[in-house]
């Protein structure tokens, strides 16, 4: 499953937001991938996420795959929309 979101928080994908994303992604069995700027990175890798250099208003596609892909996509989407506040 996949869905595209916009980064809303001011600082973009800094260490804290990336950390929050990874924490949530790790709660699920499904694989999580992030596609942005033509690159695909492992959504459970903080370094991978940060290396995308995402800033506010960047568009990212979250791709989940596995038994709990729906819940994972929902919760990660919510996290992005909540500006990475857990």
Partner 1 sequence: MLIGKSASFGIGIARALVLKSMELQIESGQCHDQASEVERFYKGLRSSESELSHLFDKTLKDMGAEKAQIFEAHLLMLQDPEFRDNVVSEIQSKSCFSSFAVDVVSKRFIEMFEAMDNEYMRERALDIKDISSRVLKHILGIETPDLSHLNEEVILVSKDITPSQMASIDLNKTIGIITEIGGKTSHTAIMARTLELPAVVGLKEATTLITSGNILIIDGESGEVYVNPDQDTIRIFENRRKEILKIKNELLTFRDQKAVTQDGRRIHLEANIASALDLDSVLKNGADGIGLFRTEFIFMDRNKAPSEEEQFHIYKTVLEKMKQKPVVIRTLDVGGDKHLSYLNIPKEENPFLGFRAIRYCLRDKPLFKTQLRALLRASSFGNLSIMLPMISSLEEIEEAKNILKECQAELLIEGVSYSKELRLGIMIEIPSAAIMADLFAKHVDFFSIGTNDLIQYVCAVDRMNENIHSLYDPFHPGVLRLIEQVIKAGESNQIEVAMCGEMAANKSLTEILLGMGLTHFSMAPGSIPKTKKIIQEMTFKMASDRSKKVLTLASGSIIKDYLNSLK
For residue 23, which phi and psi values (nearest 5 degrees)?
A: -55, -50
Q: What is the closest distance, in whole angstroms, from the C-beta atom of residue 40 to partner 1 in the complex? A: 12
CB atoms within 10 A of CB 9: 16
Binding footprint of partner 1 on the chain (CB under 8 A): 10-11, 14-16, 18-19, 22-23, 41-42, 44-48, 50-51, 53, 55-56
10 is catalytic: no
Q: What is the closest distance, in whole angstroms, from the C-beta atom of residue 78 to partner 1 in the complex? A: 20
Strands (DSSP E) contained in the chain are: 2-6, 31-36, 39-42, 59-65
CA distances from 86 to 9, 21, 30 (A): 13, 9, 20
Q: What is the closest distance, in whole angstroms, from the C-beta atom of residue 16 to partner 1 in the complex? A: 6
- The catalytically annotated residue of 5, 9, 14, 19 is 14
Write out the catalytic residue numbers.
Answer: 14
């Amino acid at each position: 499953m996949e869905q595209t979101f916009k980064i809303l928080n001011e600082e973009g994908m800094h260490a804290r937001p990336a950390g929050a994303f990874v924490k949530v992604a790790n709660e699920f069995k499904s694989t999580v991938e992030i596609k942005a700027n033509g690159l695909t990175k492992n959504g459970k890798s903080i370094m991978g996420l940060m290396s995308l250099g995402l800033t506010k208003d960047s568009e990212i596609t979250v791709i989940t795959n596995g038994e709990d892909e729906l819940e994972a996509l929902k919760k990660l989407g919510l996290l992005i929309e909540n500006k990475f506040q857990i």
